């Protein structure tokens, strides 16, 4: 009898082992590189990406949807390991009510959708992190991010509530600790009314001690990604509806603007190499996606990478240059990708 049980257990163990190998192989195949692009899988709806200084870490947002709650993922580009900072054991909350007196209570970790991201370094290995968040409230949520060796600690510090009737998209940090964020669409009327220009959103600016307010003259069809120049003179905004990257000169009264048209449905914007911007989005016509570099001074645009419609990663929403590679995220998918720049 003992020998029969031993034999059964042996067969069962082998079956489990082989099943595990099959599952691992299937997962590996599902995350296998396409021609020219490699993937890190398991990161849900990583809509926006940014570099954490020169640490080698990448921070990504994680939008909610299809039963998935929001996330803030930290990727180590040295070994491609990653984890969620909000669900980490060292995540904490410490409201700074003096800086954020209108904040309506703690950050709800069970009901948020992390959309646009912005980061600024405040000291060695210390950063302010701003995220555009939906869910329990429409707000810019503000955190301290501290690097500690091969990990990071996230502490929620407060929020600036925004108009609940509007989906705000991206955020840029201003030199006084304030921010600029884009009004992408009215929740009730939906994306079609926004991108067709039936409803136009502007850039909302908040400064410490004030209330958020729309900057006159910044109204666009589907304003999406946003970054600010180092001297805070220019705002660069992705107008999804008209497929333009628009530059606003805040030093002019009234505000002056110019733009460049692109052949993509552009989404987020990031600073790339010196004086250059990176944006990404689906190709006009629907076949695949592209990453485009725009000179911040001349607004000259150049395609620097992309994939056709057969690639496993689609609905690309962000591009980030890390060394000689470009990393890309998606607003709807289970992975991020990276490839060598063209």
> CA separation (Å) from 20 to 16, 24, 173?
6, 6, 46
Residue 150 pLDDT = 87
CB under 8 A, 24+ apart: contacts of 288-297? 288/314, 289/264, 289/314, 289/315, 289/316, 289/328, 290/263, 290/264, 291/316, 291/319, 291/326, 291/328, 292/262, 292/264, 292/266, 294/245, 294/260, 294/262, 296/229, 296/234, 296/236, 296/247
For residues 57 and 50, give the distance between their C-alpha atoms in angstroms, rounded to a whole number: 9
For residues 5 and 304, give the distance between their C-alpha atoms in angstroms, rounded to a whole number: 62
The reported pTM is: 0.90
> CA separation (Å) from 165 to 31, 139, 240?
38, 11, 20
Residue 21 pLDDT = 31
> CA separation (Å) from 334 to 23, 24, 43, 92?
17, 16, 5, 27
Residue 29 pLDDT = 75
Instruction: For domain 42-273, give the fold.
Output: Neuraminidase (2.120.10)
> CA separation (Å) from 119 to 71, 127, 145?
16, 7, 9
Count of all residues that appear for the chain in the document: 342
Residue 28 pLDDT = 63
Cis ω on the peptide bond leading into residue 262 (within 30° of 0)?
no
Residues in the chain where the model's pLDDT stays below 50: 1-27
Residue 11 pLDDT = 36
Residue 285 pLDDT = 86
Instruction: Please report how many Cα atoms fall inside a 13 Å half-sphere around the Cα of residue 342, on the Cβ side.
Output: 10
Residue 181 pLDDT = 98
3-state class of 62 per DSSP?
strand
Residue 80 pLDDT = 96
Burial group, residue 289, by CB count within 10 angstroms (0-12, 13-18, 19+): buried
SS3 per residue for 268-317: EEEECCCCEEEEEEEECCCCCEEEEEEECCCCCEEEEEEECCCCCCCCEE
């Amino acid at each position: 009898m003992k020998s029969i049980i031993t034999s059964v257990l042996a067969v069962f163990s082998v079956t489990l082992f082989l099943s595990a190998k099959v599952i691992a192989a299937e997962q590996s195949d599902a995350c296998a590189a396409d021609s020219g692009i490699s993937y890190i899988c398991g990161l849900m709806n990583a809509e926006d990406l940014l570099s954490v200084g020169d640490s080698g870490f990448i921070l990504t947002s994680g939008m909610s949807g299809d039963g998935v709650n929001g996330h803030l993922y930290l990727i180590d580009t040295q070994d491609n390991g990653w984890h969620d900072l909000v669900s980490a054991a060292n995540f904490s909350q410490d409201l700074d009510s003096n800086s954020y007196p209108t904040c309506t209570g703690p950050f709800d970790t069970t009901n948020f959708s992390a959309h646009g991201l912005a980061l600024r370094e405040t000291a060695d290995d210390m950063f302010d992190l701003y995220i555009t968040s939906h869910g329990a409230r429409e707000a810019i949520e503000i955190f301290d991010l501290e690097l500690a060796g091969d990990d990071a600690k996230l502490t929620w510090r407060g929020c600036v509530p925004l108009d609940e009737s509007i989906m705000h998209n991206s955020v840029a940090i201003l030199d006084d600790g304030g921010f600029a964020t884009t009004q992408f669409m009215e929740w009730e009327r939906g994306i079609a009314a926004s991108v067709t220009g039936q409803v136009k959103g502007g850039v909302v600016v908040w400064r410490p001690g004030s209330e958020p307010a729309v900057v006159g003259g910044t109204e666009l069809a589907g304003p999406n990604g946003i970054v600010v120049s180092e001297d805070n003179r220019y705002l660069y905004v992705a107008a999804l509806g008209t497929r333009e990257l628009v530059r606003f000169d805040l030093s002019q009264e009234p505000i002056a603007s110019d733009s460049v048209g692109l052949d993509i449905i552009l989404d987020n914007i990031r600073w790339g190499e010196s004086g250059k911007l990176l944006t990404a989005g689906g190709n006009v016509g629907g076949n695949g996606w592209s990453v485009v570099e725009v000179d911040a001074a001349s607004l000259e645009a150049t395609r620097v990478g992309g994939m056709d419609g057969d690639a496993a990663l689609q609905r690309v929403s962000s591009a980030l240059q890390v060394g000689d590679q470009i990393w890309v995220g998606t607003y709807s998918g289970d992975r991020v990708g990276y490839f060598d720049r063209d």
